[in-house]
């Protein structure tokens, strides 16, 4: 049975002026594409480097998406989640009434995050004192 709705998922991150800062979110999107091959999976950023929501939204619509779920790639609820992102979505929803636009849940709390923090703690136990660490001289993308 064929579903008439073509769905797109947009991971919406904060953004950074540091090249390569969104690499983790890009890796998550790549794995999601493997696990959800029928879905359009894209990423965008609130600010700074990278593609922004209006451009990514319109790209999804051009690819035939009739339902777009925007997943905020934010751990905590803050101003971007309460005001900025909903405002961006409402603007596009008004211009594209034929597209169902959903603001998904942010990452928030989940037991798997507790496990991840413990994993990172274990990985951090043997790191040197901050006074012994040298600041990075290259950007994260090697440039």
Q: In whole angstroms, how far apart are CA 60 and each of 6, 23, 32, 64, 119?
A: 10, 21, 16, 7, 35
Instruction: Report d(CA 100, CA 113) in Å as an integer.
Output: 30
Instruction: Report d(CA 43, CA 60) in Å as an integer.
Output: 11
Which of 14, 52, 76, 98 is labelled catalytic? 14
- How far does Cα 94 stand from its chain's mean position? 23
Cβ-Cβ contacts under 8 Å for 18 (sequence gap 6 or more): 49, 139, 140
Is residue 140 within 8 A of residue 18, CB to CB? The reply is yes
Instruction: Report d(CA 64, CA 36) in Å as an integer.
Output: 17
Assess whether 14 carries a catalytic annotation: yes
Q: Which amino acids are annotated catalytic?
A: 14
């Amino acid at each position: 049975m064929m579903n008439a709705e073509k769905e797109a998922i947009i991971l919406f991150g904060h953004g950074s002026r540091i090249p390569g800062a969104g690499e983790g979110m890009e890796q998550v999107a790549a794995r999601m594409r493997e696990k959800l091959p029928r879905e359009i999976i894209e990423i965008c950023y609130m600010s700074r480097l990278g593609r922004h929501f209006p451009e990514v939204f319109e790209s999804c619509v051009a690819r035939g998406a009739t339902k777009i779920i925007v997943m905020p790639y934010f751990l905590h609820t803050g101003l971007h989640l309460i005001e900025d992102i909903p405002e961006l979505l409402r603007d596009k929803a008004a211009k594209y009434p034929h597209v169902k636009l959903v603001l998904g849940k942010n990452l928030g709390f989940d037991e798997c995050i507790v496990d991840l923090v413990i994993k990172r703690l274990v990985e951090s136990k043997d790191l040197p004192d901050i006074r012994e660490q040298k600041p990075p001289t290259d950007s994260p993308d090697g440039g």
